[in-house]
Amino acid sequence: MKSVKVNSQSLWAYLQLTRPANIITAWADILAGIAASGYLTITQDPPPWNFIPPVWLLIATTGLYGGGVVLNDLFDMEIDLLERPERPIPGGTASPQVAALLGGWLLSVGIVAASQVSFFSGGLALTIAAAALFYNAFGKHYTILAPINMGLCRGGNLLLGVSITPAIVGEYWFLALISIVYIAAITLLSREEVHEAHLTTAVMALLMIVMVILGLLTLGLFTNYHLLTALPFLIFFMIQILSPLINALQQPTPEYMRLAVKSGVISVIILDSCLVAGFAGWICGLLVLSLLLISTKLSQIFAVT
């Protein structure tokens, strides 16, 4: 069997495979779920012990998201040889064998970390990992299934945050629909990044984003979600996501689609901050929104798509 040598250059390549900027957006999902669950107001544990479960969930989502995107590049290896030869695996800086081991290890870390919070959280993490594997192996190859599959992964990630209080998941399962529709829209756009783009795709994505915005406004009907507090965050979200999307509508080229996708991925943090602000107050919303600075900076170093 051929041995695989790992040096500092390849370590950097494997870090690229995990897409650090995107992982920060997964953290925001977890924090949004925790805010919705009301955990910090109902927990009986004093600081710093009450922060241990959230830390486990942040570790879990890091493993699940990181493992998923590493395996995504592994499964796309042959396609990337033609379309994105600069990526680490087709570029030769990352070994397929090591990438497979890394992806599997990260998914395992995600499941084990979530299990430290509760059996339910562990089961949910296992489901997310299975959905990610299904997407990489099969789902991504189907136009309709791919966006739904990816949306389910991110919707599950939001519920993973809610699962810090397992009994609440049954009451707030519908929050996952916001993530599912939003991520499905971004995934739909991402399929137009390389080949000739279609105006129809951008229109469908815009309609789905409008559904997400209406969904956020509808949350104001719930007594524990304060829409006025979340409104400034929602306006910021609309500006950030709609501007590049409208540009893609006006000029439906792969380049503008790519910019819309990049903005869409990063804007997950703003979307989550809308949830956090509404459920836990504007200070918590700003804390989550501050992750945008970290993710944006990392996106200048590491690929987002």
pLDDT tens digits for 206-249? 999 999 999 999 999 987 999 999 999 999 999 999 999 998 88
Rounded Cα distance, 104 and 112, in Å: 12
In total, the chain counts a number of residues equal to 305
- Determine the Cα–Cα distance for residues 85 and 77; give it in Å rounded to an integer: 9
Q: How far apart are CA 242 and CA 55, in angstroms?
A: 33
Pinpoint the alpha helices (H) of the chain. Answer: 8-17, 20-37, 39-42, 52-75, 77-83, 88-91, 96-115, 119-137, 145-162, 166-172, 175-190, 199-218, 227-250, 254-266, 268-280, 282-289, 291-299
Report CA-CA distances (Å) from 184 to 41, 117, 123, 228: 32, 28, 23, 27
CA distance 36 to 204: 29
The answer to whether residues 6 and 98 touch, using CB atoms and an 8 Å cutoff, is yes
CA distance 170 to 175: 11
**Blockwise average pLDDT, block size 10, the chain, 305 residues:** 56 94 96 94 70 97 98 93 88 93 98 98 98 96 92 97 96 96 92 69 91 96 92 97 90 84 93 97 97 94 84
The pLDDT score that the predictor gives to residue 1 is: 43
Cα–Cα distance measured from residue 220 to residue 237, given in angstroms and rounded to the nearest whole number: 17
The 10s digit of each residue's pLDDT in 43-66 is 666 676 689 999 999 999 999 999
Q: CB–CB of 158/33 below 8 Å?
A: yes
Q: Could you tell me if 61 and 157 are in contact, meaning their C-beta atoms sit under 8 angstroms apart?
A: yes
